[in-house]
Amino acid sequence: MLTVENKVTTVFVGNIGIGGNHPIRIQSMTNTPTHHIEKTVNQIITIWKAGADFVRITIPNTKDLEATKKIKALLTKQNFNIPLVADIHFSPKLAIRAAAIVDKIRINPGNFAELGNNIPENEQQAFIRKKVSELIAVCNQYETSIRIGVNHGSLPERILQKYGNTAEGMVALTMQYLMIFNDLKFKRVIVSLKSSNPLVMVYANRLLKRKMIATNLNFPLHIGVTEAGDSDDGRIKSALGIGTLLQEKIGSTIRVSLTEPPEKEIPVAKKIICYAKEKTAISSDFKNITYPEIFSKRKVSATSLVDFNKYPQVLIAGKNFRQNKSQYIAIDNKNHSYEKTVVPFSEHITGIPIFTVNTIDKLSDYSGKDKMLLITFNEIKANILKIKNDKLLILIYHLSDLSPVYEVDAFFDFLKKEKINNPVIFHKNYTENDLETLQIKVAMDFGRPFINGYGNGLFITNHGTINNTAIQQIAYDLLQATRMLITKTEYIACPSCGRTLFDLESTTQKIRKKTAHLKGLKIAIMGCIVNGIGEMADADYGYVGGTPGKISLYKKRKLIKKNIPEENAVDELIKLIKDNGDWQDIHS
């Protein structure tokens, strides 16, 4: 089990402090080719005006490096003091030259100084140290900071062979670099571990934090879910991953990666930070709370209703059970075509009764198999003897706006100590009229328990204007993001940057329109090859920019066809899916 502290030093990027007592910083990245100077300058300003603290640009070659000098000069001329971050892959030489221009260099240890396969590890480490030393020399001269940005999708072969494509591998690679930076006494370091899978991202950052504490390293962390996608999925995945860590006070700067115009990332980031502040500000009596280092799903007892170990449930309702208002709700699961009516016990004639603390004494007299108990943590502690031996009871655990972050952990610790293995469905009331805000709050309230292996379903009630169909979809989207229940096609889509070789936003929409009915299929849509193959490791099919105007198609990590003209590539993807037997007609 893991307990995390939050003590980090301050690192400056230009005039912006990160870590220490500074607020959580927000960043985004341009998606214009950097050598399109005027467009890039305008987009940097747009992102900054939306509320970003600094902006990242890609520098894949010398042409873009020279353009960056002009971009910096134009921003200064227009009186915009916006810190710039250079995103560098594959080239230590470019990183060294860029360090004299920008405020921060992002290097990717997966491709920064790798000599290739079958190189003795001592030679590899010596080469990394040499290249890092050269970069540090320039950064010291210009007071440039460095982000060590490890991506789940671009781990080097030597790490993959030893650890696999895992959170442990991400942390091992990061620690190799951190120890070199620490040994060379370079302190202007920020660290990030990102993945398109929110669970991998959360567990990697938790593990890194523990390793850093154990080795007395206190560098600030930049956090984000990469390739989160667009629309609802991108917001829920980002709130799930980033929100979980911020509630645990891990993370000093964030990016929400959406396959949308970059300025649209900023309002989402602000909402995540704001809600994390609200939740962490709630006073708590829970001390020494720990949570899993590796994912392990809580096993629950069987009920006559459904096997909750396999099929988490979604309850659909409108009114507030905590106020004992009369209502009827349905319990269902998209992978099972059934609905069951659920009613308060006081009005029970047919269907599944829900008991509360006011009717809990009637539990022992009820002869039906299916029954639920809506209860708070304090209520269950006070009434434990009345439910302890009822193996068929389904618990609906009610959280309020005053429930502290670690209450859920304490609740499940209590159940474990009392040897209670009953299924638990989470419940909370909201009063939201804005769909995006509700998505973020639900993902942050319930995503963290799901990531920790707790819970068997969701019961969301909202007293705003959002309809029940939309609320139900939020529940399904969160269950899919946590890998608990797959009910639709999964898209892994990068947010686009200056390396992108096609229009990601419109292409993602085209692919989604033609494949959204393929439940359970995972399709990766990548603008370039930098993270492509690795981030596609979890996908069934990959659509990747190879060269300008040309697309490569993958089945898992295997390249199937390359140099496909962009105008034909979506149809070729559909053909590939059909040829492999994964296609379903819409009405089948």
Residues 520-546 pLDDT 10s: 888 888 876 665 565 666 788 988 887
Q: Say which residue, 489 or 348, is predicted with more confidence.
A: 489
Q: Where does a domain end: 451, 481, 511? A: 481
- Cα–Cα distance for residue pair 205/171, rounded to 1 Å: 8
Q: Where does a domain end: 260, 280, 300? A: 280
Q: Which residues does residue 461 pair with via DSSP β-bridges, in sequence order?
A: 429
Same domain, 269 and 415: no
Same domain, 450 and 533: no
pTM above 0.85, yes or no: yes
List the structure tokens of 521.
């299929």
pLDDT at 349 over 90: no
116 in the Ramachandran plot: left (φ > 0), alpha (ψ -120 to 50) or beta?
A: left
Beta pairing, strands 145-151 & 189-194: parallel
User: Is-contact 202 245, C-beta < 8 A?
Assistant: yes
Tally of domains within the chain: 3
- Cα–Cα distance for residue pair 155/164, rounded to 1 Å: 9
* CB crowding 40-77: b at 16 or more within 10 Å, else e: bbebbbbbbebebbbbbbbbbeeebbbbbeebbebbee
pLDDT at 58 over 60: yes
Sequence letter at residue 10:
T
**Does a structural domain hold residue 303?**
no
**Does a structural domain hold residue 306?**
no
**Does a structural domain hold residue 147?**
yes
Same domain, 223 and 243: yes
Same domain, 442 and 371: yes
pLDDT at 552 over 80: yes
* Domain of residue 84, residue span: 11-280
List Cβ neighbours of 172 (8 Å cut-off, separation of 6 or more): 159, 162, 163
**Does a structural domain hold residue 376?**
yes
List Cβ neighbours of 582 (8 Å cut-off, separation of 6 or more): 518, 521, 540, 541
Closest to 408 (Cα-Cα) out of 362, 450, 466: 450
**Does a structural domain hold residue 294?**
no
List Cβ neighbours of 137 (8 Å cut-off, separation of 6 or more): none
Same domain, 460 and 506: no
CATH number assigned to the domain comprising residue 53:
3.20.20.20
Same domain, 249 and 388: no
What pLDDT band is residue 143 in, cutting at 50, 70 and 90? Answer: very high
Q: Please write the tens of the pLDDT for every residue from 192-238.
A: 999 989 999 999 999 999 999 999 999 999 999 987 676 888 999 99
Beta pairing, strands 253-254 & 313-316: unpaired
Average of per-residue pLDDT values in the chain: 87
Same domain, 255 and 336: no
Q: Please write the tens of the pLDDT for every residue from 255-290.
A: 999 988 999 999 999 999 999 999 988 777 766 666
Same domain, 88 and 225: yes
Predicted confidence at residue 486, as pLDDT, reads: 83
**Does a structural domain hold residue 285?**
no
Same domain, 365 and 514: no
Q: Where does a domain end: 462, 481, 500? A: 481
Phi, psi of 150 (to 5 degrees): -90, 130
- Cα–Cα distance for residue pair 532/521, rounded to 1 Å: 17
Predicted confidence at residue 311, as pLDDT, reads: 75
CATH number assigned to the domain comprising residue 529:
3.30.413.10
**Does a structural domain hold residue 56?**
yes
Q: Please write the tens of the pLDDT for every residue from 439-458.
A: 999 999 999 999 999 999 89
What DSSP line would sit under 336-372, residue for residue? Answer: EEEEEEEEEGGG-SSSEEEE-TTTGGGGGG---S-EE
SS (H, E, C) 244-297: HHHHCCCCCEECCCCCCCHHHHHHHHHHHHHHHHHHHCCCCCCCCCCECCCCCC
Residue with tokens 């959360």: 202
- Cα–Cα distance for residue pair 365/359, rounded to 1 Å: 11
Same domain, 454 and 500: no
**Residue 447's Cα: distance from chain center in Å?**
10
**Does a structural domain hold residue 123?**
yes
Query: What stretches of 53-188 adopt beta strand conformation (E)?
Result: 54-58, 84-88, 104-107, 145-151
Same domain, 474 and 554: no
Same domain, 358 and 232: no
